[in-house]
Structure 1
Amino acid sequence: MNDARTGPPLAVPSTALFTDQYELTMLQAALNAGTAHRRSVFEVFTRRLPEGRRYGVVAGTGRVLDAVENFRFEPAILDFLREQRIVDAPTLDWLAGYRFTGDIRGYPEGEVYFPGSPVLTVEGSFGECVLLETVILSILNHDSAVAAAASRMAVAAAGRPLMEMGARRTHELGAVAASRAAYVGGFSSTSDLAAGFRYGIPTVGTSAHAFTLLHDSEREAFAAQVESLGAGTTLLVDTYDVTEAVRLAVEVAGPKLGAVRIDSGDLLVVAHRVRRQLDELGAHEARIVVTSDLDEYAIASLAAAPVDAYGVGTQLVTGSGHPTASMVYKLVARAAGNAPDAPLIPVAKKSLGGKLSIGGAKWAARQLDEQGVADAEVVGTGPVPDELAGRLLAVELMRDGTTVARERLDAARDRHTAAREALPLSASQLSRGEPVLSTRYIRP
């Protein structure tokens, strides 16, 4: 599930401290008790989708696998843990040789999920699995939230290109992850060069209002940009007067002007006026790009407007009101004893307050109706029914600590498009509603 990229290798820092302290203290206590080596199964799932969302989108799987591979306790990290007295000497010795040697399987990146879906399953010793909780959740919760927002925006855009432009609205490293997740969810490009470099996502960008303001006139600014970038560039036309700017844009670049960008005002009204003016000036092929704090609802409201592409920033990288997918990482099965061949037994939290979990390692399948449209998410802990055997969702991602499923990011993006199109038509509705598929549990 990793992303292929040509070019020089990147130095990858250890991810071992992307964790919470209690994971290390649990490890220490389990080592002291002799239970740290018990075979265990942890699952990542969500009990509910964000309010009003019809489906979730799995994103970040490739980044999870990279993080697990780079989860190493280097000397400087061990020194820090020792100096801060976070864990004792025997635990430090154990951490010094830490390598995840277990198995990971889960929904492939780009797949959709629903409440209870076992998005990721991590199996190995308790000690090596418990340490991965925070880093796995931090990646999946962020990336899946952004991908879900991106998917809704892609539905609203109805085939028109979407450009991710949110780097300045979030953490600098979160911006790169958000660009990647947005691409999985249906965006076609990013303005973030780090995302382009790291993941091979197409990059876009021309100029901001500052470039126009730098020059003595709008004409001079347009002429400088066209001379440097060619007539096919995109000119920003709302620094002063839009009508005059469009006239100057065509005059300077000619009828082969690539595009104009509108970043303010009533976008619906302005887009119609600009399209009419471009056509009257002979720039029939010039495209109209709109930006200005868009979300899926604003994009949908522009469906009838002559808009050719959208640039989205803040609302995308913050999950359009839902910045987390609320996934959890829970122990669902563990060995009955310390013997290497001890059988697995289901375990589950039974607290009140809506936080109930279902014990046992699970499989998941998507049930189809007579027309081949998905109509239920089926999750089970026993044998898989024959009619669902060919519909299982999880794939093997890591075996014995080695990643076995690497793919280009385009594959995850294409998978998401196919998965979304296989859902009932109501999945495309932006109005608030329940998950488009119900989750049905099968227990032995």
Structure 2
Amino acid sequence: MNAADLGLPVAVPSTALFTDRYELTMVQAALRAGTAGRRSVFEVFSRRLPEGRRYGVVAGTGRVLDAVENFRFDPGVLEFLADRGIVDAPTLDWLSGYRFRGDIFGYPEGEVYFPGSPIMRVEGTFAECVLLETVILSILNHDSAVAAAASRMAVAAGGRPLIEMGARRTHELAAVAAARAAYVGGFATTSDLAAGFRYNIPTVGTSAHAFTLLHDSERDAFRAQVDSLGGGTTLLVDTYDVTEAVRMAVEIAGPELGAVRIDSGDLLLLAHRVRQQLDDLGAHKTKIVVTSDLDEYAIASLAAAPVDAYGVGTQLVTGSGHPTCSMVYKLVARADTAEPGAPLRPVAKKSMGGKMSMGGRKWAARRTDADGVAEAEVVGTGPVPEELAGRQLLVELVRGGEVVAREPLDAARDRHTAARGALPLSATQLSKGEPVLPTEYL
């Protein structure tokens, strides 16, 4: 259960200032020009995947819905804007009543995406939609980067459990978001209690080297931990001598010792030696957990080792070298007037330098071959071909300002496993390559 399940009060701060100043100054100018109420369509997409990546992972959708729901200009926020002279009085008055009353569609959380995929579509008036740009991109860029790294690590782990333990390697709030994204990408547990509390992610953890160093001997430390947590605990065995620590761990906890953790040294060599030693001591069911600056490549290198679980920190929460997905939020269609029902027309940025975009309100579908394996990401602005009608990717998330797509986090996690499994086998290669699916425009 999380805080809400227990009936405990949960603070819901305004997200209105998780934005850039120019979003508000654009609204001010548009209000004065009479264009703020024009119906508009914005889309989130990435022009390319991070170098060498073969697919992206949509993560953070649930957090986006929370942010949109809590995007309110309360008195304290309005006072800040007024004191700093950021916007004028008419704009402050408009912001005081701000509620997003438009519609949002998007790829469901956990789905995979490719260059050009319209990951999220936001529809409403220009003013109400443009204000959401920064917070939506902030969430999706961070969470999708972590989820993509987590997905690659899950592939490398080959079904062995992964533990998220990067809280001390990033901002304290980013740590919670990273744990959530990692869970969507395939991690089983987190060490971060705030993530467990907020998102009901299973938490794990026992002791660090400091606990061993606190005691007069390693034996005293192991005894204290076993007495407190039971024989099924995980003992950290690389503070001094690994071989002696493993022998002592089994002696104290018995052959039913839950696990030993190795956090340094040649993990491949040590894992084999420790497994042999555990078996010789009769601790056949004792598991081996390895940590120590792992990434997907290090995990893959341990595929043949007798390792039962991996703990990953720094490389996970930093996207394993790609901490953002370079997603953008672009106006792709708008009405010529603010009249209700005014028709939309496509608009697009035409500048050079690789920053061009495609105008028009888009749909997306994934074409598959006769065996059900994905073969192309199809994006279009016109009618959806009949053969793709049942394969459309965008789902309704917000209708008339009301969230309509709440789901358990496990649903996103399961969806990702299924989506990744439907890609060509080459998607799971860790070597650098092009996106595993081409994007076709209709």
When normalised by structure 1's length, the TM-score is 0.98
Gap runs ≥5 in structure 1? none
Q: Distance in 1 between matches of 2:4 and 2:268?
A: 39
Q: Is the 8 A contact 2:375 2:437 kept in 1?
A: yes
How big is each residue's C-alpha offset from its partner over 1:325-363, in whole Å with a ceiling of 9 and x where there is no partner?
110000000012222121000000000000010000000
Q: Distance in 1 between matches of 2:197 and 2:402?
A: 25
Query: For residue 359 of structure 2, what is the aligned residue in structure 1?
Result: 359
Q: Secondary structure at the match of 1:6?
A: coil
- How far apart are residue 274 of structure 1 and its match? 0.1
Q: Aligned runs of 1:82-161 on 2, under 5 Å? A: 82-161=82-161
Q: Is the 8 A contact 1:189 1:201 kept in 2?
A: yes
Query: For residue 229 of structure 1, what is the aligned residue in structure 2?
Result: 229
Identity over aligned residues, as a percent? 82
Query: In structure 1, what residue type is equivalent to 2:142?
Result: H
Alpha-carbon RMSD: 0.8
Query: In structure 1, what residue type is equivalent to 2:412?
Result: A
Query: In structure 1, what residue type is equivalent to 2:98?
Result: Y
Stretches (4+) displaced over 4 A: none
Q: Distance in 2 between matches of 1:93 and 1:382?
A: 39
Query: In structure 2, what residue type is equivalent to 1:374?
Result: A
Q: Distance in 2 between matches of 1:211 and 1:20?
A: 44
Q: Distance in 2 between matches of 1:251 and 1:39?
A: 72
How big is each residue's C-alpha offset from its partner over 1:242-288, in whole Å with a ceiling of 9 and x where there is no partner?
00000000000000000000000000000000000000000000000
Q: Is the 8 A contact 2:424 2:436 kept in 1?
A: yes
Equivalent pairs, count: 440
Q: Distance in 2 between matches of 1:287 and 1:36?
A: 61
Query: In structure 2, what residue type is equivalent to 1:370?
Result: A
Query: In structure 1, what residue type is equivalent to 2:99?
Result: R
How big is each residue's C-alpha offset from its partner over 1:99-133, in whole Å with a ceiling of 9 and x where there is no partner?
00000000000000000000000000000000000
Q: Distance in 2 between matches of 1:371 and 1:351?
A: 41
Query: For residue 20 of structure 1, what is the aligned residue in structure 2?
Result: 20
Q: Distance in 2 between matches of 1:337 and 1:227?
A: 73
Query: In structure 2, what residue type is equivalent to 1:394?
Result: L
Query: In structure 1, what residue type is equivalent to 2:301?
Result: S
- How far apart are residue 4 of structure 1 and its match? 9.6
Query: For residue 296 of structure 1, what is the aligned residue in structure 2?
Result: 296
Moved more, 331-340 or 369-378: 331-340
How big is each residue's C-alpha offset from its partner over 1:278-330, in whole Å with a ceiling of 9 and x where there is no partner?
00000000000000000000000000000000000000000000000110000
Q: Aligned runs of 1:373-384 on 2, under 5 Å? A: 373-384=373-384
Q: Secondary structure at the match of 1:159?
A: coil
Q: Is the 8 A contact 2:4 2:10 kept in 1?
A: no
Q: Distance in 2 between matches of 1:269 and 1:88?
A: 66
- How far apart are residue 438 of structure 1 and its match? 0.4
Residue 387 in 1 paired to residue 377 in 2?
no
Gap runs ≥5 in structure 2? none
Q: Distance in 2 between matches of 1:183 and 1:338?
A: 43
Q: Is the 8 A contact 2:3 2:197 kept in 1?
A: no
Q: Distance in 2 between matches of 1:19 and 1:424?
A: 38
How big is each residue's C-alpha offset from its partner over 1:223-256, in whole Å with a ceiling of 9 and x where there is no partner?
0000000000000000000000000000000000
- How far apart are residue 63 of structure 1 and its match? 0.2
Q: Is the 8 A contact 1:4 1:407 kept in 2?
A: no
Over 3 Å counting, the alpha-carbon distance change for 1:5 and 1:372 in structure 2 is farther
Q: Distance in 1 between matches of 2:165 and 2:194?
A: 12
Q: Is the 8 A contact 2:184 2:409 kept in 1?
A: yes
